[in-house]
Amino acid sequence: MPFFVKGLSNSWMVQSLGNSKAQVEMCMEISLMPVFNLLMGPMMRIQMGGLLKQVREEIKYFAENGIPHPRKLAAQQKPQLKAAS
């Protein structure tokens, strides 16, 4: 995480609605250093909103098809950068 992110948490709850239906609730909390909250907060809210929309689409696709979303599969095929030791 960037140095200005003080904390990040994400919790999920899946509740069965019967008839092969479920409801997924996600709660994401991000805490930024005060000055960076003013500068980066609005941009991060927009970025996280887009990310959560993609996650919602991928969960729905997986639940309906039993396989990962094509976007998820493509992301898994990309070479991953290794963290510096």
> What is the per-residue pLDDT across 22-81, written as a single tens digit (0 to 9) for each?
898 988 888 989 888 888 888 888 988 888 899 989 998 998 899 999 998 998 887 766
Whether 14 maps to a domain, the answer reads yes
Find the domain containing 32 and state its range.
5-77
Whether 52 maps to a domain, the answer reads yes
Q: Give the model's pLDDT for residue 37.
A: 85
Number of domains the chain contains: 1
Whether 47 maps to a domain, the answer reads yes
Whether 65 maps to a domain, the answer reads yes
Whether 83 maps to a domain, the answer reads no
Within a 10 A sphere around the Cβ of 24, how many other Cβ atoms?
13
Is the predicted pLDDT of residue 83 greater than 70, yes or no? no
Whether 26 maps to a domain, the answer reads yes
Q: Give the model's pLDDT for residue 44.
A: 86
Whether 63 maps to a domain, the answer reads yes
Q: Give the model's pLDDT for residue 85.
A: 52
Whether 64 maps to a domain, the answer reads yes
User: What's the 3-state SS for 18-84?
Assistant: ECCEEEEEEEEEEEECHHHHHHHHHHHHHHHHHHHHHHHHHHHHHHHHCCCCHHHHHHHHCCCCCCC
Q: Give the model's pLDDT for residue 66.
A: 92
